[in-house]
Structure 1
Amino acid sequence: MARLSSDLPCLGVGLGFRRELREPIFEHIEAIDVLEIVADHFFNYVPEGQTPAVELAEKFPLLPHGLELNIGAHGDFDPRNVEEAVSLTEAVSAPWYSDHLCFTQAQGLEIGQLTPLPHTRATVERCVAKARAFQDQLGVPFLLENITRAFPLPGEMDEVSFVRAVIEGADCGLLLDLTNLFINAHNFEYDAYAYLDELPLERVVQIHLAGSVRRGERWMDSHSHSIEEHPEVWELLDYVAQRTRIGAVIIERDQNYPDDFGELLADIRTAQSILGKPGSLSRPGLEAPGAHRH
């Protein structure tokens, strides 16, 4: 099993690769430290297979991010998905692989969304067992990502206790989506900083940031705007960066692509400036102190 260690690289700040953004990404290679790819889009059973990902890996460090591992569902993994994830990770020399703490299929049928899980001990045990089994085959550290939800979930624990129990039980890493945290905290009226204080921040390897849209009193996880739509997310990044070593920050954009690519570059620069602030623990070799809000 590949476990977390302080030897994981600090790759900087980059973008989630989307084919619609390919041309401006290559026009601004010098401004982008790293790319994240949707792993399932580069599996061998899709038309172009791994080839485009391998070509990207010649220019950028690549981080594969899966959609259909289905970590929270009952039953075994789809063996083809596991095989493809391992193969892609090796092909692009990725330092880690990530997917979502959710389920995406039921009784063999794809749901078409990242569906949240009930916060129960039975769910924790199921996710822990499957995450450990996957990481055993992967050969590099495995990260799980916190997701948004549309309504309160039943269960025996709150969200942060559930996430912590899975991550620690599986001995895996955390892909901390700070926009998802901001959205859930706003929509369900809890303190995002108290949530962060309860997380094992030493297990944060990667961070996601995305701009979303507000509808009425609620924020929606749309990945459709600049992060400046809710600049509070930058404060959350600063809070985490002061407390732990961050391997990579990825800006996600999945729709409403800007005519001016400078909008995404501005988000990258803002994240880079936060990681580069005096006192930031985003550099190699520094330990994370306890997290306490001031």
Structure 2
Amino acid sequence: MTTASAVFELPCLGVGLGFRRELRQAIFEHIDEIDVLEVIADHFFEYVPEAQGAARELAEHFPLLPHGLELNIGAHDPRDPRNCQEAAALTRALAAPWYSDHLCFTQSQGLEIGQLTPLPFTRATVERCVAKARAFQAELGVPLLLENITRAFALPGEMEEVEFVRAVVEGADCGLLLDLTNLFINAHNFAYDPYDFLARLPLERVVQIHLAGSIRRGDRWVDSHSHAIAEHPEVWELLDYVAQRSRIGAVIIERDQNYPEDFAELLADIRTARSILGRPAKPARH
């Protein structure tokens, strides 16, 4: 059974990117400048045997971290056994040290919502998430990390978001994938202090960090994954705060649109994150 001690003893893999087909060529042209890749787990699920060739090619050069989209941990629907089995099989195939997904719901009564949907911050939701996360983590055989998401509106609830996140990860005895861009966006859009949020989180459970560029629409920020993080000094400052208080296993830069013509833009973000963590660059292969 996975316990908190397993979370605390995970390897430190460095700084890398979320793998996207549009970035594949540039990634392979800059192997020595990227420590680790995150792959979207659901893209491999139905084709694990066929996809293993592509995964092996990546795994020859990088540690691979599976990141899921459809765990649907907060829904009233029962756990999807096929999703759990495929996630566990992929995790074993990649020899991944952990598996991550989102603290949200993505479908209800079999109806696909098509996006990561926020949960009501209630005790009943905590209990539901904890039960599902514990069962899923036991089947995985490696630590599960849950990620904080952005939200467009406030839902009625019984607690603050930080209390909700803490209750779930501590109750499930799992790790935290802390998306600092999501935290920055929610803190701005809902007028709270992100450092107060961090001070109340169990930062010892932070295993992985997500960083991404966002866009501003009117007086609100939107999580677009479309720009350089260099444009958001506030996010770098949040990373520095967490790095001084957590043993971070990996930092992943996410980019899902508006891919830069010059890959140096993403490499610059990797170098900045690496310098904040105080880690040397990846040794060159000979």
Q: CA–CA distance in 2 between the matches of 1:48 and 1:212?
A: 35
Count of aligned pairs between the two proteins? 277
Q: Pick from 97, 102, 105: which aligns with 1:103?
A: 105
Displacement after TM superposition at 1:48 (Å) = 4.3
- Counterpart in the other structure of 2:3: 3
Deviations 1:201-235 (A, max 9, x none): 00000000000101111000000000122210000
- 1:82 correspondence with 2:100: no
Q: CA–CA distance in 2 between the matches of 1:200 and 1:231?
A: 24
Displacement after TM superposition at 1:80 (Å) = 1.1
- Counterpart in the other structure of 2:284: none
Q: CA–CA distance in 2 between the matches of 1:216 and 1:110?
A: 30
Q: CA–CA distance in 2 between the matches of 1:45 and 1:75?
A: 25
Corresponding letter in the other structure for 1:221: D
- Counterpart in the other structure of 1:284: none
Q: Pick from 104, 115, 118: which aligns with 1:116?
A: 118
- Counterpart in the other structure of 1:56: 58
Where does structure 1 lack aligned partners over 5 or more consecutive residues?
Answer: 278-294
Q: CA–CA distance in 1 between the matches of 2:80 and 2:197?
A: 33
Structure number with the higher helix fraction is 2
Q: CA–CA distance in 1 between the matches of 2:147 and 2:20?
A: 19
- Counterpart in the other structure of 1:232: 234
- Counterpart in the other structure of 2:153: 151
How does the TM-score come out when normalised to structure 2?
Answer: 0.95
- Counterpart in the other structure of 1:246: 248
Q: Contact 2:48–2:90 (CA<8 Å) still a contact in 1? A: no
Displacement after TM superposition at 1:46 (Å) = 7.5
- Counterpart in the other structure of 2:205: 203
Q: CA–CA distance in 2 between the matches of 1:189 and 1:48?
A: 47
- Counterpart in the other structure of 1:91: 93
- Counterpart in the other structure of 1:68: 70
Q: Contact 2:42–2:70 (CA<8 Å) still a contact in 1? A: yes
Query: Residues 135, 47 of structure 1: CA spacing in aligned structure 2 closer, same or farther, 3 A cutoff?
Result: closer
Q: CA–CA distance in 2 between the matches of 1:11 and 1:49?
A: 23
Identity of aligned residues (%): 81
- Counterpart in the other structure of 1:289: none
How does the TM-score come out when normalised to structure 1?
Answer: 0.92
Q: Contact 2:189–2:221 (CA<8 Å) still a contact in 1? A: yes
Q: What secondary structure does 1:50 align onto?
A: helix
- Counterpart in the other structure of 1:256: 258
What's the Cα RMSD here?
A: 1.2
Displacement after TM superposition at 1:51 (Å) = 3.0
- Counterpart in the other structure of 1:161: 163
Q: CA–CA distance in 2 between the matches of 1:254 and 1:164?
A: 28
Where does structure 2 lack aligned partners over 5 or more consecutive residues?
Answer: 280-286
- Counterpart in the other structure of 1:13: 15
Corresponding letter in the other structure for 1:82: C
- Counterpart in the other structure of 2:40: 38
Corresponding letter in the other structure for 2:248: I
Q: CA–CA distance in 2 between the matches of 1:60 and 1:228?
A: 24
Corresponding letter in the other structure for 1:120: T
